Structure formats: C-alpha cells, structure tokens
Amino acid sequence: MSFALLLPLLLAAQPVATDSYLPALPAIARELGSASSSLTVFVLAFGLAQLLCGPLADRFGRRPVLLAGLGCYAVAAVGCALAGSVGWLVGWRAVQGFSMAAILVCARAVRDLYPAHEGPHIMARGLTGLGVVALFAPVLGAWLVQGLGWRWVLGAMAVYAGVLFALCWRDFAETHAPLAPGEAATPVARGSAREVFASRSFRAWASLAAATYGGIFCFLLLSPMVYIDLLGLSPALYGWIPAGGSLVYIVSTTLCRRLLRRWGAVRTVQLGASLSLAGACIQALGCALWPQSALPLLLGHAVYVLGHGIHQPCGQAGAVGDLPQLAGRAVSWSGFAMMLVAFCLGQFAARFVDNTMSHGAWPMVLPMVAAGLALMAIAFGWLPRLGVARVPARPA
C-alpha cells in the first residue's frame, strides 16, 4: 500500500479517537462522572507529546515512532474500555493522546516525499480520506453506545489501531533517513524551536490551522450536551450530526484542491475564512432568535466546516513548506499550537456548561465566532504580507 493510501487512514486515527467518542460522553458522565475532562486531557496530551515526537521522528526516523504510537494507541484504547473510574479513564486517554501525537506527526510530514508546492494538494487528498472515515465514526459510535454501551466504542478504537499497525508494519517504508549510530547531527537537524518560529511562513500558517481547529473543537466538546441534553436528541440521531459535518468536510477538501490550482493559497483561505465567520454568525443568530431550534446550529456548523476543510490542508502543509529539513519539528510545533488553542478554548467554554444547560448553546457558539474573526484577520491581514506565490497545478 502506497503512502498516499496510508496517509488518510493514519490521519483518520484522530477522528476515530474523538468523533466516535462524542456520542459516548453523556453515557460516560452518567456512569463515571465528568466526561469532558477525558476529552480535554486527551487533547492536551496530544499537543504536548508532539513536541517530543517531532524531534524523535527527525532523529530516529518516521517508521519506528509511528509503529510505537500505533501500538500504544491500541493498548490505551483497551485500558479506557476497562476503566472503572473517571481517573483511570482520563489517565488512559492521556496515554492515547501521547500515542496519537506519534501517529500524526509522522503522517503529516509530507515534506519528506513531496516538494513544497505539492504539499497542500497531498494533504488535502489525505484529509478527504480522513473525512470519509470521520463520516462513519460518530454514527458507528452512536450505534455502539445505544446498543452495547460506551465501552465498546473504545474497543472498536483498539481494533482500528491494530489493523493499521499491521498495514504499516507491512507497507510503511521509512521516509526520513535516521542518523547513523554515533553520527553527529547537523546544525539544521539540531534545529530548535527558535529556528522553527523564525519562519514567518510557519507562524502565519500554523496560526491559521490553530484558529480553525480551536473553533471546531468547541463543537466536538460541547455539541453532545447541546443536542442531546438541551435539545433532546437521542445518541443515535446525534451521531448523524458530526457525520454530516464530515460529509461537508469531504466536499470542502476536494474543493480546496481545485481552488488552490486556480487561485493560489492566500485567496483560497480568504474564501475559507469568510465561510467560517459566516457559519459562526448563523449559529449566533439562531441562539439569539430561535434558542430551541437545531436548524440554525446545523446550518451554521455546515458553513463553518466548509471553511475548516479549506484551512486545514493549507495550514498544515503551509507550516512545513519552508522547513523541509525540520519537517518533524515544524509539524510538532504546529500541532501543539492547534491543541493548546483547542484546550484553552474548550476549558474556558466548558466552565459555562452545567447540568441544566442554563446558557443554552452559547458556550459552543461564541468560541466559533471568535475563531472566525481570528481567521479573517489572518487570511486578509497577515498572509498577504508574506508574498505567497500562486500554488502551481499538480501534474496529472
């Protein structure tokens, strides 16, 4: 199996760990206590671990780090399924977050195999495949929760990781030559955070990816409570909401590849930023005028995701485009920024959610509005000053 086919499956390990977990949150809260902490700790561990996994992948190669991550991911999922308290669940989810970092750092380092101008196209294709998996993950998770219980969702994660481990063991060839024993690292290979953050391009594109993910994470964290506890949907019916978002995401990443060829990166993300802000504003209008209606929330989420599907491939590939020798470190710092923004926004928003949902859907919606405003500032104020060239069409 080629890297182009493995890439979407590796990237999809993240929505398998998050999207399929969403319908289980209310059930976990009823059985063990607070459930949101298990998701936010997962995100925090995922972000912090990328700072370690990036240099490890640059030093020892992608393959051993990837295989170790997949193995630990499967073990941690089994630990979560057997957890008897919220403390054990949070602990195993933290281990799973660390493992997830190893998987995604290696998967996102597309700069190993492709030149800078092809990176966004390859990443967009990989994220389209991610969207296909994410389309079915929450629906399957909802069915498992409603039919068998929330622990089976974690068991299914372990099976996914085990199958992916076998595929990568057989087909994933090393894409980055590790240093020989005793060989001294070159100054570039020893590159520090200072060298990564010295890149103006990295700072701008990483900020774009972090802002868009911060908004979508608040949806991931709080939408189960909004739709199930506030609006009264069943877990099975709720599962179709993130699945529908994944379908929109697939369309958006496919559209992104076409827009990159026609417009270039900056104009493409300007369209995405406009969509993201418009979607968040539709949700805010719905909260103000029709607080008990799901339709404005659903419509606004779909429009926001249209923008998100443009920003993610451009932001993730753009962050490493100028740093081929430091791709692992650049990916890790970009991923850490995404998770840090998501964790901070999610923790702040969750403080306004109680058992009676007294604030309605506002804790979910307002962070998305803030993310939309940040995206507009980056796309229209920051990126044009970089002088990013038009992205060439990829050869047929």
Which pLDDT tens digit goes with each residue over 250-287?
A: 889 888 888 988 898 899 999 999 999 999 999 999 99
- Identify the band that residue 189 occupies on the pLDDT scale cut at 50, 70 and 90: very low
> What's the pLDDT at 55?
73
> What's the pLDDT at 123?
59
Q: Indicate if the pLDDT at residue 47 is higher than 50.
A: yes
Q: What one-letter code names the amino acid at 272? A: G
Token digits of residue 85: 């308290």
> What's the pLDDT at 110?
47
Q: How far is the first Cα of the chain from the last one, in angstroms, to the nearest whole number?
A: 20
Q: How far apart are CA 362 and CA 146, in angstroms?
A: 27
Q: Indicate if the pLDDT at residue 393 is higher than 50.
A: no
> What's the pLDDT at 57?
74
> What's the pLDDT at 328?
65
Q: How far apart are CA 213 and CA 110, in angstroms?
A: 20
Higher pLDDT, residue 272 or 6:
272
pLDDT tens readout for residues 90-138: 899 999 999 988 888 777 654 444 455 555 556 566 667 667 777 788 8
Q: How far apart are CA 284 and CA 261, in angstroms?
A: 34
Mean pLDDT along residues 307-335: 80
Higher pLDDT, residue 248 or 176:
248
Mean pLDDT along residues 152-168: 90
Token digits of residue 59: 């030093």
Q: Indicate if the pLDDT at residue 210 is higher than 90.
A: yes
Least confident of 15-19, 55-59, 74-78: 55-59
Q: How far apart are CA 127 and CA 108, in angstroms?
A: 10
> What's the pLDDT at 3?
59
Tokens 């998996």, residue located: 133
In order, the DSSP letters of 342-391 are: HHHHHHHHHTT--TT-TTTTHHHHHHHHHHHHHHHHIIIIIGGGGTPPPP
Contact 102, 161 (CB under 8 A): no
Distances (CA, A) of 235 to 22, 27, 122, 229, 230: 9, 9, 35, 10, 13
Q: What pTM value is reported for the model?
A: 0.72
Domains of the chain: 3-172+192-386 (1.20.1250.20)
Tokens 């671990």, residue located: 49
Residue 286's nearest CA partner among 300, 274, 303 is 300
Q: What one-letter code names the amino acid at 110? A: V
Enumerate residues 6+ apart whose C-beta is below 8 A from 13: 70, 73, 100, 103, 104, 160, 161, 164
Q: Indicate if the pLDDT at residue 181 is higher than 80.
A: no
- Identify the band that residue 72 occupies on the pLDDT scale cut at 50, 70 and 90: very high
> What's the pLDDT at 334?
85
Least confident of 5-14, 42-51, 213-222: 5-14
> What's the pLDDT at 388?
46
Token digits of residue 9: 């499956």
E strands along the chain, which residues?
none
Q: Indicate if the pLDDT at residue 187 is higher than 60.
A: no
Q: What is the mean pLDDT of the chain?
A: 82
Going by the DSSP 8-state scheme, the letter that residue 324 receives in this structure is G
In order, the DSSP letters of 58-90 are: HHH-HHHHHHHHHHHHHHHHHHHHT--SHHHHH
Higher pLDDT, residue 357 or 71:
71
- 3-class SS at 150? coil
Considering only the C-alpha atoms of the chain, give the largest distance between any 2 of them, rounded to a whole number of Å: 67
> What's the pLDDT at 231?
92
pLDDT tens readout for residues 370-386: 999 999 999 999 999 88
Going by the DSSP 8-state scheme, the letter that residue 154 receives in this structure is H
> What's the pLDDT at 390?
40
